[in-house]
Amino acid sequence: EVQLVESGGGLVQPGRSLKLSCLASGFTFSNYGMNWIRQAPGKGLEWVASISSSSSYIYYADTVKGRFTISRDNAKNTLYLQMTSLRSEDTALYYCARHPSRRDYYFDYWGQGVMVTVSS
Amino acid sequence: NIVLTQSPASLAVILGQKATISCTASESVNKFGINLMHWYQQKPGQLPKILIYNEFSRAPGIPARFSGDEAELNFTLTIEPVEADDVATYYCQQGLTFPLTFGAGTKLELK
């Protein structure tokens, strides 16, 4: 069974940093591209970043480019999102999600999400 | 960026009737003859779930009540017949180019 479990969220002050993790199991993690998608309270879905299976290709939303860094450790089956210079508008539930192939950028498995609250 | 405009924002349907949700793309999402448009269902308090990928292909376990179609950049998700378990917000998403984008969502309720 595919499982994605996020961790690392919490309350953080504006301008500070936070690092999210997503532990994957139930599939060969190193074969799949991964993504972070967020959802502000009561709002819709916003794609944040994508990383290919070997980390060769990385993409970011303009809203986080230069502040967030997506990375992965295939030996640890773990996806990361390093977030710096956090703003109140980054407050959201952050999901990690898998995309099924490098040609198919849709999200077939999602984690339960981890909440990030940016507030003083 | 490819903008996806969903309509209506909310929809009330009688049990057993048909629900139609529209998603209009600002430009083509077609690659090699396949429209890279996808649909998700998010029930209240739950994580999103893939329903339809590549315009009309149902994800594993998704019943035939859910179908996808396209006409001139206007994509539709149809649910027929609607069941009580379908109460949710539905999102379209394009997978052609970065940034990947979602529609704003359509909230389906029962009348």
Distance between start and end Cα atoms, chain A: 40
Contact residues, chain B to chain A, C-beta under 8 Å = 36, 38, 40, 42, 47-50, 53-54, 59, 89, 91, 93, 95-96, 98-105
Average pLDDT, chain A: 97
Q: CA nearest B17: which of B96, B111, B90, B105?
A: B111
Average pLDDT, chain B: 96
Contacts of A62 in chain B (CB under 8 A): 99
> What's the DSSP call for residue B46?
S
Question: At A11, which amino acid appears?
Answer: L
Which of B31, B47, B93 has the highest number of chain A CBs within 10 A, making it the mutation to test binding with A?
B47
Over residues B40-47, mean pLDDT: 96
Residue A67, pLDDT above cutoff 90: yes
Task: Grade residue B71 by pLDDT with cuts at 50, 70 and 90.
Answer: confident
Question: At B16, which amino acid appears?
Answer: G
Q: Bin A3: left if φ > 0, else alpha if -120 < ψ < 50, else beta.
A: beta
- Report the chain B residue with the minimal C-alpha distance to residue A58: B98
Task: Grade residue B100 by pLDDT with cuts at 50, 70 and 90.
Answer: very high
Answer whether A110 sits within 8 Å of B99, measured CB to CB: no
Confirm or reject contact between A61 and chain B (CB < 8 A): yes
Task: Grade residue A102 by pLDDT with cuts at 50, 70 and 90.
Answer: confident
Q: What is the pLDDT of residue B72?
A: 83
